[in-house]
Amino acid sequence: MVVFLCLFSLWADDLSSFDSIINLPFTVPFGYGDHVSLFTILMAVAMIFTTRISTAQMGDTNQQIPGMKFMMTWLMPLMMIFIFNSYSSGLTYYYFLSNMFTLGQTYLMSGFVNDEEIMRKIHENKKKPVVKSKWQQRLEDAAKKRGYNPKK
């Protein structure tokens, strides 16, 4: 927390305007502007790390859209650099801190969770027979009386 407060107090004087570390002698198109903002770069790097960690925890659940992992990990932070470079440094500082707290929370929680134990319990529960509730049984009985035959 002290590092974040020091970064703010030593670097940004005014959170209502952009924070420029390099003033460029030309204007970059697509709304980037003529400067490079530190908090925007830090926000994009933190976004990359946060996205990589969350997609690594999900495994291969997103096989339906293979390009989405690339887009979310690399293209989204790049787009954010172009979008937020000329915005106020308070906004990018907030997003940076939010991503850093998410990273810390993810690492903290991963120390308390045993993935192998959870997967073992899931596989054990899959082997148990599915017990129908009384409500589900009454609905199926009413449907059978009306002539509906569910496929098995």
Could you tell me where the DSSP H helices lie in 20-87? 38-58, 67-70, 76-84
Name the domain count of the chain: 1
State the pLDDT at residue 45: 94
Residue 123 included in any domain: yes
Residue 12 included in any domain: yes
Residue 46 included in any domain: yes
Contact 80, 44 (CB under 8 A): yes
In this prediction, residues 134-149 reach a mean pLDDT of 87
Residue 152 included in any domain: no
Mean pLDDT of the chain: 81
Strand partners, 20: 37
Task: Give the C-alpha separation, 49 to 107, whole Å.
Answer: 12
Contact 53, 103 (CB under 8 A): yes
pTM for the predicted model, two decimal places: 0.66
First CA to last CA distance, the chain? 57
Cα torsion angle, 90, 94, 97, 103, sign? negative
Buried residues in 80-117 as b, exposed as e (16+ CB within 10 A) = bbbebbebbbbbbbebbbebbebeeeeeeeeeeeeeee
Q: Tens of pLDDT along 26-72?
A: 777 777 777 888 888 999 999 999 988 887 776 655 565 667 777 77
Domain hosting residue 118, numbered range: 2-145
Residue 151 included in any domain: no
Looking at the predicted structure, is the pLDDT value of residue 19 above 90?
A: no
